[in-house]
Chain A
């Protein structure tokens, strides 16, 4: 039941360098944001299909087929519920399908972004978007420590299991109580790591000046310009497609 080893794998999906991953992180973010916004322009089925198809080149460029498949499989239950509920409330198969495809588009956009963007780039992106230092670094440090804390959890469980500890036994309530020998050491160790980390950050002059310089610098290449133009074209076409069917403008809920 408990598979901490497996859970850590989620953070390790690397597909190596792809044309998409070499792009400037800001470009990747703009693409991501565009394909989240696009499906929202209108509720027509046509729009949703368009949003989906327009992302296919990106899926290929980022080699994220595996992740897309996995994300969709993971959301399968949710998708089915969505279709059913929508159909029951609107009696329109077309609308329900459109809503599902909208969700799928967004899932695909996320999968593409997550596959081709390294955690470090996401951190740099947050800085570029002028998000406050504390928040950006909380994110980066969290990513840095996820594998470390995951190892801690494995060791905690290993230690407790070697004392005869069993999680599987008992009713649901008993199982919750049984989490105590796992949770308490986890929390204490995490706090201790946090404390030592704070010392280290102080020692490295973190927060010394607002004018932090930047070691890593991203260029804009040909690929960036091509894809940004692509995104612009898609949005424009999307707006046009959206206006084709005037009664479906911008997130209607009833038809």
Chain B
């Protein structure tokens, strides 16, 4: 379980707190959605989960984050990456290898898995995202959707127990979004905790998360099941979010 315990964080040189007294718990086997307008602290929250904050991003942090009981201040990002894998928006920020296979092996090698384990994980990860057939190709020869799936495979191969993803659907077409949903559902099915930061509520609704957190100005404004959160149209709208269409229609029908 990941426990975020009363965290307040301010980036160095910034006048505002990016997160204010945020507390939440993330369990395995569930899909969590983190939503909120730009600047709400969603990306900052993600960076707490694997120790990027406080090790890499400088600033002032109060409170603590525990990953299976281990305080993130006391473990390195490399160590935490074995438990919590973070996937960022632009896959091209990762790629530097000649083949897809090598790229996916980089993570496991860096965290010190042994060769037999690496072989097995890489195969598993590539199969999970449906890229095993393309393993000899160059990463940059892939389509946009394939690159996105490759970036996920690169993290999955480290066999983390939590997968945290930052805006996976940006720039993706409907087919790609659909395959991403399948991947995340499968991960949940395999007992992993999946944390997704997104502004695409329509897609998130279809994915079927277990819990949704709404952030604004660094504060968790509301949390609950998707139905609860998405049907509170007023709350979403005042926080700069567009609810999934079916909820908008349902609410308007009730009024009328």
A and B touch in the complex (CB under 8 A): yes
Are B158 and A188 in contact, with the CB atoms below 8 A? Answer: no
Given A152-B93, A185-B93, the answer on whether A163 and B56 have CB atoms closer than 8 Å is no
Q: Write the nearest CB–CB distance from A181 to chain B, whole angstroms.
A: 5
- How far is B252's CA from A27's CA once the two chains are assembled, in angstroms? 65
Given A184-B96, A185-B96, A188-B140, the answer on whether A162 and B155 have CB atoms closer than 8 Å is yes
- How far is B135's CA from A216's CA once the two chains are assembled, in angstroms? 54
Say which one of B84-92, B196-204, B205-213 lies at the interface with A: B84-92
Are A163 and B12 in contact, with the CB atoms below 8 A? Answer: no
Q: Which residues of B contact A234 (CB under 8 A)?
A: none
Q: Write the nearest CB–CB distance from A55 to chain B, whole angstroms.
A: 31
How many B residues, CB 8 Å from partner?
A: 30
A60 touches B (CB below 8 Å): no
Given A5-B58, A161-B56, A162-B88, the answer on whether A155 and B93 have CB atoms closer than 8 Å is yes
Are B110 and A164 in contact, with the CB atoms below 8 A? Answer: yes
A156 touches B (CB below 8 Å): yes
B1 touches A (CB below 8 Å): no
Cβ < 8 Å to B, chain A residues 135-156: 152, 155-156
Are A161 and B96 in contact, with the CB atoms below 8 A? Answer: no
Q: Which residues of B contact A163 (CB under 8 A)?
A: 81, 94, 106-107, 110, 154-155, 158
CB < 8 Å: which of A155, A162, A185 contacts B77? A162
- How far is B81's CA from A152's CA once the two chains are assembled, in angstroms? 21
B194 touches A (CB below 8 Å): no
- How far is B112's CA from A183's CA once the two chains are assembled, in angstroms? 22
The listed residue with most A CB atoms (<10 A of its CB), out of B85, B93, B96, is B93
Residue of A nearest to B47 (CB): A158
Write out, one digit per residue, whether chain B residues 124-167 have a CB within 8 A of any chain A CB (1) or not (0). 00000000000000001000000000000011001000000000
Q: Write the nearest CB–CB distance from A177 to chain B, whole angstroms.
A: 12
Q: Which residues of B contact A164 (CB under 8 A)?
A: 77-78, 81-82, 107, 110-112, 158
Residue of B nearest to A165 (CB): B110
Residue of A nearest to B157 (CB): A163
Q: How many A-B residue pairs have CB under 8 A?
A: 72
Are A162 and B93 in contact, with the CB atoms below 8 A? Answer: no
A189 touches B (CB below 8 Å): yes
Are A162 and B96 in contact, with the CB atoms below 8 A? Answer: no
CB < 8 Å: which of B86, B94, B96, B140 contacts A180? B96
Are A185 and B92 in contact, with the CB atoms below 8 A? Answer: yes
How many A residues, CB 8 Å from partner?
A: 23
Residue of A nearest to B107 (CB): A163
- How far is B12's CA from A155's CA once the two chains are assembled, in angstroms? 17
The listed residue with most A CB atoms (<10 A of its CB), out of B58, B92, B106, is B92
A160 touches B (CB below 8 Å): yes
Write out, one digit per residue, whether chain B residues 89-117 have a CB within 8 A of any chain A CB (1) or not (0). 01011111000000000110011100000
A159 touches B (CB below 8 Å): yes
Given A5-B12, A181-B106, A188-B140, the answer on whether A162 and B92 have CB atoms closer than 8 Å is no
Are B81 and A158 in contact, with the CB atoms below 8 A? Answer: no
A166 touches B (CB below 8 Å): yes
Are B88 and A155 in contact, with the CB atoms below 8 A? Answer: yes
B72 touches A (CB below 8 Å): no
B52 touches A (CB below 8 Å): yes
- How far is B140's CA from A166's CA once the two chains are assembled, in angstroms? 24
Q: Which residues of A contact B154 (CB under 8 A)?
A: 163
Are B77 and A159 in contact, with the CB atoms below 8 A? Answer: no
Are B107 and A158 in contact, with the CB atoms below 8 A? Answer: no
Are A159 and B50 in contact, with the CB atoms below 8 A? Answer: no
Are B93 and A159 in contact, with the CB atoms below 8 A? Answer: yes
Are B90 and A155 in contact, with the CB atoms below 8 A? Answer: yes
Q: Write the nearest CB–CB distance from A19 to chain B, whole angstroms.
A: 28
A91 touches B (CB below 8 Å): no
The listed residue with most A CB atoms (<10 A of its CB), out of B50, B76, B95, is B95
18 pairs across A/B with beta carbons < 8 Å? A5-B13, A155-B88, A158-B56, A158-B88, A159-B88, A159-B93, A159-B94, A161-B77, A161-B78, A162-B85, A162-B88, A162-B155, A163-B94, A163-B154, A163-B158, A165-B78, A180-B96, A192-B92
User: A interface vs B, CB < 8 Å?
Assistant: 5, 9, 152, 155-166, 180-181, 183-185, 188-189, 192
User: B interface vs A, CB < 8 Å?
Assistant: 12-13, 47, 50, 52, 56, 58, 76-78, 81-82, 85-86, 88, 90, 92-96, 106-107, 110-112, 140, 154-155, 158
A-B CB proximity, top 9 nearest: A164-B110, A184-B96, A164-B111, A163-B107, A159-B93, A162-B86, A164-B78, A156-B93, A155-B93
A163-B155, A185-B94 given; name 4 further pairs at CB < 8 Å. Answer: A155-B90, A159-B88, A163-B107, A183-B96
